[in-house]
């Protein structure tokens, strides 16, 4: 039983789980989770074996490459249609392996968590069916070696996201959020499809049209300037797709609304897996981007702008899940900024660590919401640390990780991003990123302060009923807290040329060559050390500011919350505008509403008027004319014979007369 033969199982098991649960899951009732969870468990085992082999070099070399180890399955003929022949196969190279770690582990833990979280929901079986569908789509996305299959998986992932966001479909806000997510994704997908088309055009110009990812990128780079569609355009189109899926500005508006879905969905899709698809896409196409520095700058700019935009909004949100959603946006911005400055490994590193600690934070928030009986507003929480200790402890670990405090995972990945940005001379990215790190620490510990410390501000009846979540929910939390704490130490060391760097080097070396980045050795007591000091200082500063304003309670070290200071700060003249802007999400939703709903609605109404009055009017008028003409002509039929006879006589005169005139009379 070779690993290659087991690779298709990675796709078939979740698909099978989805189909079985979708069709007969309702009958299982409370046991509907067994098949999906077992399917994902087997997937996790196979994936971990494959990943281990690939990353340690035990796997065979990939065809067409001298240094990359991996597994290949297929190719299978997909569309054999005459001249158009599309094959696809599955590839597990080190990049896919890193993604697989995140996707399968967090997927499995979310499945287990959902057993507890969704236990009271009547749509229990539906939830697991959709989760399996999502796992199938995501795995297809990272395993595929063909652009078109990636696109199909892209769309499937979007579909699963729609189904899961709108899981409680009777709630109007959930319906709207699901539609919003799908539609905004679609805008990005348009760019992606155009990008794929551009790739086909370019490869066809080279004489060998292909949709295989590796081959097409090689061809595009080989052609260089001779590409009919410039590589910058192709890169930006592909980035447009990534923007939609990974919620970068201006397509970021769907992610906060997507919190309407159940919390496991937010954890899985909107923190750990789907939103990483955009990052994966750009990492996969890294040679293409590396050969177009202008596109890279765009990527970096949009990424870091999203980071600071989202972080600024997260500072004032009152819904616990919204804070985490904006935090996700911000961290995704970091990842794109990393990609944009050429730090591909750093971006993937942050993707992995972020997946774990954001997944942890979301699941933890789910546990909190469950504990306070479906209350999501942080203003009505507080003092929960005593009541739900396991949740509190794991979320504390997650917060420290995301704040970037060593030695937890977030510090390593975030610092690597900022360091690479600085050393690649993208000082503005470094500066903004540093500020965002400060904001990140601030809003995360604001969340902790409002939720877990201080005194409870909700209804007293709830306080007595608060209890810790069942083990099926807390065990995944603990299991996620471990990598949040230790992943950095595991693969981020030694600093400067980490283990992860070694794994991913074969995938990114072409890009690094193209970018001609300076290869200086790591100076812990030089530039790099100074950078580390800067980011740690900034993180601690944010943390301290949050503790000052929102309180802290760590056993002997405690300080009270100061809501009056918060109010006074937010009312100060310069800051009050920022406060209001942040609270209103910088009015982007209102802008979109104005542009598309109001103005678009007017244009649509005008079009409808045009269609109704002009187009239909013309058609109807022609019909009416026919009827009127018929009626008019019908008046010839008087029923009187003499009228008809007169007609005959006149006709005869006309014929005879014209004959006489035309032939000039008989002769």
Contact positions toward other proteins, by CB under 8 A?
Answer: 634, 637-643, 645-646, 649-650, 652-653, 656-657, 660, 665-667
Q: How far out from the chain centre does Cα 316 lie?
A: 23
**Distance separating alpha carbons of residues 288 and 515, to the nearest angstrom:** 11
How many CB atoms sit inside 10 A of residue 34's CB?
Answer: 14
Q: Which residue has the tokens 């035990």?
A: 58
Q: Give the residue with the Cβ less far from other proteins, 61 or 649.
A: 649
Q: Which residues contact 450 (CB under 8 A, 6 or more apart)?
A: 378, 379, 381, 382, 550
* C-alpha–C-alpha distance, residues 388 and 529, integer Å: 39
The rounded distance, in Å, linking the Cα atoms of 443 and 42 is 38
User: Shortest approach of other proteins to residue 632 CB, angstroms?
Assistant: 14
Residue located via tokens 């155009």: 194
Do 512 and 342 contact (CB within 8 A), yes or no?
A: yes
From the CB of 628, what's the least distance to other proteins, in Å?
A: 17
Nearer to other proteins, 524 or 645 (CB): 645
| Least distance (Å) between residue 599 CB and other proteins | 55
Distance CA 258, CA 142 (A): 23
- What residues are paired with 79 via a beta bridge? 86
For 608, other C-beta atoms within 10 Å of its C-beta total 10
CB closer to other proteins, 591 vs 650: 650
Q: Nearer Cβ to other proteins, position 172 or 667?
A: 667
- Using the minimum distance from each CB to other proteins, give the nearer residue, 618 or 638: 638
Q: How far is the CB of 643 from other proteins (least distance, A)?
A: 7
The token pair that represents 1 in the structure block? 């039983």
Closest approach, Cβ 665 to other proteins, in A, equals 4
Q: Could you tell me which of 646, 584, 594 has the C-alpha nearest to residue 316?
A: 584
Q: Which is nearer to other proteins, 79 or 650 (CB)?
A: 650
Instruction: Kindly state the smallest distance separating residue 646's Cβ from other proteins, in Å.
Output: 5
Concatenated DSSP letters of 525-556: TTHHHHHHHHHHHHHHHHHHHHHHHH-EEETT
Nearer to other proteins, 595 or 646 (CB): 646
CB 272, CB 357: distance < 8 Å:
no
Smaller CB separation from other proteins, 555 or 666? 666
* Terminal-residue alpha carbon distance, the chain: 108
The H or E element that residue 90 is part of is strand 84-92
Shortest distance in whole angstroms from residue 648 CB to other proteins: 9
What values do phi and psi take at 359, rounded to 5?
A: -60, -45
422 in Cβ contact with 430 (< 8 Å)? yes
Residue 667 CB, shortest distance to other proteins, in Å, is 7
Exposed, middle or buried by CB within 10 Å (0-12, 13-18, 19+), for 609? exposed
Other beta carbons within 10 Å of 220: 24
- The CB-of-630 to other proteins minimum distance in angstroms stands at 12
Nearer to other proteins, 499 or 654 (CB): 654
**Nearer Cβ to other proteins, position 499 or 660?**
660
The helix (H) or strand (E) run that includes residue 417 is helix 409-423
Beta bridge partners of 377: 319
499 or 648: CB nearest other proteins: 648
From CA 95, how far away is CA 339, in angstroms rounded?
14
Q: How far apart are CA 664 and CA 222, in angstroms?
A: 84
Tokens encoding 367: 């546990």
CB 377 within 8 A of CB 318: yes
Minimum distance, C-beta of residue 627 to other proteins, in the bound complex (Å): 15
Six-digit token pair at 313? Answer: 């909004």
Task: Report whether 94 contacts 51 (CB < 8 A).
Answer: no
Residue 662 Cβ vs other proteins, minimum distance, rounded to whole Å:
13
Secondary structure E strands in 173-244 = none
Nearest to 264 by CA among 137, 151, 369, 159: 369
Q: Are strands 557-559 and 552-554 parallel, antiparallel or unpaired?
A: antiparallel
Shortest distance (Å) from residue 649 CB to other proteins: 5
Least Cβ distance, residue 602 to other proteins (angstroms): 50
Least Å distance, CB 637 to other proteins, is 6
- Cβ neighbours of residue 435 closer than 8 Å, sequence gap 6 or more: 308, 538
Q: 574 or 664, CB closer to other proteins?
A: 664
CB of 644 to other proteins, least distance (A): 9
| Contact present, 259 and 319 (Cβ < 8 Å) | yes
Residue number with CB closer to other proteins (226 or 636): 636
Do residues 254 and 186 make contact, with C-beta atoms less than 8 angstroms apart? no
In the bound state with other proteins, the residue whose beta carbon lies nearer, of 584 and 638, is 638
Of 228 and 651, which has the nearer Cβ to other proteins? 651
**Residue number with CB closer to other proteins (2 or 663):** 663
Angle between helical axes of 124-143 and 147-165 (0-180°, round to 10):
160
Instruction: Give me the residues paired with residue 76 across strands.
Output: 88
Nearest distance from C-beta of residue 600 to other proteins, angstroms: 53
């Amino acid at each position: 039983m070779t690993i290659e033969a087991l690779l298709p199982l990675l796709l078939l098991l979740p698909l099978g789980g989805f189909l079985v649960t979708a069709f007969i899951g309702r009958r299982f009732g409370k046991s509907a989770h067994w098949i999906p969870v077992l399917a994902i468990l087997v997937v996790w085992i196979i994936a971990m074996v494959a990943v281990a082999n690939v990353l340690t070099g035990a796997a065979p070399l990939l065809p067409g490459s001298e240094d990359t180890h991996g597994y290949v399955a297929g190719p299978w003929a997909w569309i054999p249609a005459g001249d158009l022949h599309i094959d696809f196969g599955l590839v597990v190279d080190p990049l896919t392996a890193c993604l697989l770690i995140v996707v399968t582990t967090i997927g499995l833990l979310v499945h287990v968590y959902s057993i507890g979280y969704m236990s009271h929901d009547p749509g229990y079986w539906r939830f697991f069916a959709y989760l399996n569908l999502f796992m199938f789509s995501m795995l297809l996305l990272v395993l595929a070696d063909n652009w078109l299959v990636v696109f199909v998986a892209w769309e499937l992932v979007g579909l699963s996201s729609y189904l899961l966001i709108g899981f409680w479909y009777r709630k109007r806000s959930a319906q709207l959020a699901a539609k919003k997510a799908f539609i905004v994704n679609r805008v990005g997908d348009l760019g992606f499809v155009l990008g794929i088309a551009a790739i086909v055009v370019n490869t066809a110009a080279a004489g060998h049209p292909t949709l295989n990812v590796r081959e097409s990128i090689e061809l595009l780079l080989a052609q260089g300037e001779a590409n009919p569609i410039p590589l910058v355009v192709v890169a930006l189109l592909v980035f447009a797709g990534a923007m939609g899926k990974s919620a970068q500005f201006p397509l970021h508006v769907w992610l906060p609304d997507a919190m309407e879905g159940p919390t496991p969905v937010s954890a899985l899709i909107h923190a750990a897996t789907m939103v990483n698809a955009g990052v994966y896409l750009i990492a996969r196409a890294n040679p293409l981007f590396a050969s177009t520095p202008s596109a890279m700058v765009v990527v970096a700019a949009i990424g870091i702008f999203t980071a600071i935009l989202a972080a600024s909004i997260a500072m004032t949100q009152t819904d616990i899940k919204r804070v985490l959603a904006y935090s996700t946006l911000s961290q995704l911005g970091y990842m794109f900024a990393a990609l944009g400055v050429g730090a591909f490994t750093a971006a993937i590193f942050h993707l992995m660590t972020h997946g774990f600690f954001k997944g942890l934070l979301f699941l933890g928030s789910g546990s909190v919401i469950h504990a306070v009986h479906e209350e999501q507003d942080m203003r009505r929480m507080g003092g929960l640390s005593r009541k739900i200790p396991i949740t509190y402890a794991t979320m504390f670990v997650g917060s420290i990780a995301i704040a970037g405090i060593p030695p937890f995972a977030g510090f390593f990945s975030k610092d690597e991003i900022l360091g690479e940005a600085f050393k690649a001379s993208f000082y503005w990215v470094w500066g903004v990123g540093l500020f965002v790190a400060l904001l990140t620490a601030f809003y995360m510990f604001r969340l902790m302060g409002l939720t877990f410390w201080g005194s409870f501000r909700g209804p007293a009846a709830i306080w007595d009923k608060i209890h810790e979540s069942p083990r099926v929910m807390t065990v995944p939390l603990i299991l996620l807290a471990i990598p949040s704490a230790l992943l950095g130490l595991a693969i981020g060391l030694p600093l400067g040329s980490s283990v992860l760097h070694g794994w991913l080097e074969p995938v990114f070396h072409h890009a690094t060559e193209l970018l001609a980045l300076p290869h200086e050795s790591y100076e812990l007591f030089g530039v790099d050390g100074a950078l580390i000091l800067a980011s740690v200082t900034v993180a601690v500063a944010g943390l301290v500011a949050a503790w000052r304003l929102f309180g802290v309670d760590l056993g002997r070290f405690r300080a009270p919350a100061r809501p009056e200071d918060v109010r006074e700060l937010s009312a100060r003249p310069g800051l009050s505008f920022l406060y209001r802007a942040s609270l209103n999400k910088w009015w982007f939703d209102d802008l979109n509403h104005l542009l598309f709903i109001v103005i678009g609605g007017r244009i649509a109404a005008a079009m409808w008027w045009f269609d109704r009055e002009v187009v239909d009017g013309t058609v109807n008028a022609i019909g009416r004319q026919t009827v009127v003409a018929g009626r008019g002509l019908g008046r010839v039929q008087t029923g009187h014979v003499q009228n008809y006879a007169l007609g005959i006589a006149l006709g005869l005169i006309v014929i005879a007369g014209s004959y006489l005139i035309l032939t000039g009379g008989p002769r």
